[in-house]
Chain A
Amino acid sequence: MTEEKKPEERKPRKHATEAAGKIGPMVKAALAENLRAKEEGEPIAYSFIFSSYDEIIRAMDIMPAWTENYAGVCGAKRDAQRFLERAESENFSRSLCTYALCGLGFDSWREETGEMPPDAPWGGQARPTVMLGSGQIICDPRYKWYQAAQHYMPDVPVYVAGLPFPPYEDDYDYRDVQDYYVKYIVEELRGLVAFLERHTNRKMDWDRLSEVVDISDRTWNMISEAYDLRKAVPCPMGTGDAMNTMVPMTFMMGTQEAYDFFKDLYDELKRKIANKEGIIPDEKYRLLWGGGLPAWFALSDFNYFNSKGAVFPAEVTYRQVEPVYELDMPKVSDPLEHLAWRWVKYWAYRHDKARKRPGSNPDVERLIEYIEEYKIDGVVIHEAFSCRSWHPGLIWQLNQLKRVYRDIPSLILESDIVDISSYNEADTRARIDAFIDTLEAVKSKKG
């Protein structure tokens, strides 16, 4: 029986920064807070990260339950398989997003038995009051997952907020269309506020929303400034740690706690730089995590890279912020309109830059920018088999990078975000070893 499977025992990953070390307890506390809220009858919203509605939920004092996060926790604790198998037994294909499968397996289990699955990681995930999807130009599970979850919780309403952003095209500029994108997003966010007021007995406090938006703007800036410090040689913080520090960025946006966390990280990185304290004592290769969600159950692979003298000063994944003051935003008084502009401008941030390089596009341009600014020697991507949101196009980006910029060593890792059965440690490490050999050969050639 799948119900009887127990997670494997494993050691915690070694962090380079104190900040990353704080994350585990923070996630645990947030999940406990969810359970407390449920107990006390407070509204809980199943939510997706990067959906531009964090500030709305916070301002309305609704408790977000980040379902991707909970699936990631199950994956990191190597206790997702029983939920994946449960979803499969419900006729969901194992090729679908494993965050969603883990969540659906968990929900169907909890709904069937009326209680948390036994030994649920960190106490489990509480039944939601509402589920908030989003319709973007990425990630089908953002509108399908919660619709599918309604099959097990038919009384829980779902809202899907349309959050499109302009594609990068040759024959028109995003500025030609931005106004109608912003108008639509504002209407959708306004619809979300009305939906939440209808289903949660909470009222929007618009002044509070303005304050929360202001905090999140400042947090965007602080994250950008802190992460920019990683350009230092030796690098004080790597992608392994960034896969921890993504927690306050993605799950706590709009809170003072998130801002303070990144201010502390900024200060810590400054101190490390002043002391010339890198992730490892002898930094030989600087790598870019060029895309792909991580294998949450195998974050120790980053330590393995470190053991070979390689560090990751930058990553594309979970760096979904840019300095707000660089986004060319119009000044608007409506906080929803501000959120809409920030969303559109964030996605168009590198359109102008890409236009200057024939054959480039904003994704390729970002790789080039990081390679130059972070003094990168090689690019690593991870293809998670179950995710068609962030992974299709990565191979092409690597190829195009080499066609329009320059040849640079690259490595493609393959497994999944949650499904550990897709992962082979020996094979992964053999690939890393071979990649390190390539980096060394290139370095020796350059002299």
Chain B
Amino acid sequence: MCLFGLFILACKKDNPIKEEIEKFLGFQKPANFPEPIYNLANNPVTKEGFELGRALFYEPRLSRNNTITCGSCHIQSSAFTQHGHDVSHGIDDRLGTRNSPPIMNLAWSKAFMWGGGVFDLDLQPITPITTHEEMDENLENVLNKIRALPKYTAMFKGAFGTEEVTTARFMKALSQFMVMCVSSNSKYDKVMRKESGTTFTADEQAGYVLFKDKCASCHSEPLFTDGSFRNNGLGISTINDKGLYGATLIETDKYKFKVPSLRNLQYTAPYMHDGRFLSLAGVLEHYNSEVQATPNLDPVLNQNGKLGIGLNDDQKAKLTAFLNTLNDTEFINNKLLSEQ
């Protein structure tokens, strides 16, 4: 009787998962999001393509000595960042110079990397694969390693019709996985979509008003970044990372970095391009009192002769309450996005 009961229970537990897989819906734009920038028409997300992309994302053969996967520095439980590392920790314990950015809502991103230089999601993976401190491999070797595995040739056939492993197919599969990493189910989203009567608390609401007044010009809703590159007044680092300038050689791009999204801050510390701030309190204090007038400082941080954004303790507390509504537990626990 007991055994029978267990069996029923096991079946019940299995069925919803099965159903979920069967009704793979592909890429779905959240109701409160704008149209995506990524050209989905050129690479429609299919179940097979997505699953291939996911397998590749968690595939250590993408690195020189088969030790590092994309997921090594982009960990789902940390909203696809490398929590606890100021700069990314790659192959042979080498350290990069920048903090792993989240793989999140990339379908709405028009430029990639903290310092720019990459403008097409389909070309982005070449950077970590070939970077000395990350995977230190070359693409030709990666494709040859993948071609040698029947598991993958079968998956390429399922996704693209034949077993042929090409650069374009490899990149498109990875993009299919990455564009599916959509974070849109935070409390904020539910409030905005008026889902099941979700509302902000008084502090969250007060924080939202403050946010719109003091932060939204760069961290614009609903993605909480306008996708631009700006100098937010960080003191120049010891390695003198010049940000966007490194890619454009344009003097006015010096010290500009990509404006990061404020979504999932609870999981993505430390903060800034070099992970210099360990906590949100550190970030808010930077804007309150530590902004420096380095070249190309964003004008919004230098108003009426005053540097930064004045924030008292009460305002900081309310802003923090609001920012915490941007955490999306469904995203970091979504089994579909996990290593299988």
Q: Do A and B come from one complex?
A: no
Q: Which B residues lie at the A interface, using CB under 8 A?
A: none
